[in-house]
Amino acid sequence: MTAGAFAGLSLDVPRIVGIINVTPDSFSDGGEALAVDDAVRRGRELIEAGADILDIGGESTRPGAKPVGVGQEITRVEPVVRALADEGYTVSIDSRRASVMAAAIEAGAKVINDITALTGDPESLALAAESDLPVILMHMQGDPGTMQGNPQYDDAAKEIFEYLQGRVEACREAGIGRSRIAVDPGIGFGKTLAHNLDILNRLDVYKDLGCPVLLGASRKSFIGHISREEAPKDRVPGSLAAVLSAYARGVRLFRVHDVTETRQALAVWQAIEKN
């Protein structure tokens, strides 16, 4: 994969997207940053640890999650986005709803991150195009409430490539240039363990999309399934293994909970490779 750039950041070095879940029920850290002050404090800590982008979401999309009301989602994220953007940080809004995206953009968000690849709301594609902001397009089979029921693929990595290729083209037709797009294969979103491993093993195929690839594998359940069914916060070593494997395959954007640990693992890997 070529180095390129995304959201004004050169990708000649790995870039870290730090997760801030302003929710009571996210799978790993639900409730920890539900209060505005806690979320803002979390953002500052992630920046200090080395995050390049802060990804703020107000709706849990864990398997089996139920959607929240649009007003509630806006109430959760808008003050956090505004506070962190006002402090000069690059903020991403993690939402599948156009009205939430719009509120976050007005509050200062500079990136749109959508688990539905701008298909979940009929207004989101046009909004993203008009915003002139970079977008992250993720693949998901089904929706959070049902996606892990019985996901099916004949060739997971290939089918996800074709889906993302279609979404990149739809964005381009809507006026979103390829330079504004990153893609995310959606580890754990409508995938079995075998599907996730197939995608992770073949991440280098996504270079042909001509867009930066983002990996979001942090603390996800597949790590526990491979290991000893550890709780989410005990899956950090496995998360780092996924990051390093992806880095070796050309990925340069990583969405993580554990910024300090990820930065250190990547720094050591890079030092060894350059020696």
Full set of structural domains in the chain with CATH: 14-274 (3.20.20.20)
User: Would the pLDDT of 256 be above 60?
Assistant: yes
Nearest CA-CA partner of 183 in 101, 114, 92: 114
Contacts of 15 (CB under 8 A, 6+ apart): 6, 9, 52, 53, 252, 253, 254
Centroid of chain to Cα 253: 9
**DSSP conformation letters of 179-214:** GGEEEE--TTSS--HHHHHHHHHTGGGGGGGSS-BE
pLDDT of residue 32: 65
Average pLDDT over every residue of 142-171: 94
- Residues linked to residue 22 through DSSP beta bridges, in sequence order: none
Average pLDDT over every residue of 155-176: 98
Band of residue 2 on the pLDDT scale cut at 50, 70, 90: very low
User: Would the pLDDT of 59 be above 70?
Assistant: yes
Give the largest Cα separation in the chain, rounded: 52
Q: 114 φ, ψ to 5°? A: -125, 120
Q: Is 220 a catalytic residue?
A: yes
Band of residue 1 on the pLDDT scale cut at 50, 70, 90: very low
Q: Is 66 a catalytic residue?
A: no
Alpha-carbon gap, residue 73 to 28, rounded angstroms? 19
Catalytic one of 15, 96, 235, 255: 255
User: Would the pLDDT of 34 be above 90?
Assistant: no
Catalytic one of 219, 220, 235, 252: 220
Q: 185 φ, ψ to 5°? A: -70, -10
Of 106 and 146, the structure prediction assigns the larger pLDDT to 106
Total-model pTM: 0.95
User: Would the pLDDT of 174 be above 70?
Assistant: yes
Alpha-carbon gap, residue 124 to 110, rounded angstroms? 15
Alpha-carbon gap, residue 36 to 83, rounded angstroms? 9
Alpha-carbon gap, residue 50 to 28, rounded angstroms? 20
Band of residue 25 on the pLDDT scale cut at 50, 70, 90: low
User: Would the pLDDT of 6 be above 70?
Assistant: yes
Length of the chain: 275
Supply the mean pLDDT for the chain: 94
pLDDT of residue 31: 56
- Residue 136: Cβ within 10 Å count: 28
Q: 254 φ, ψ to 5°? A: -135, 120
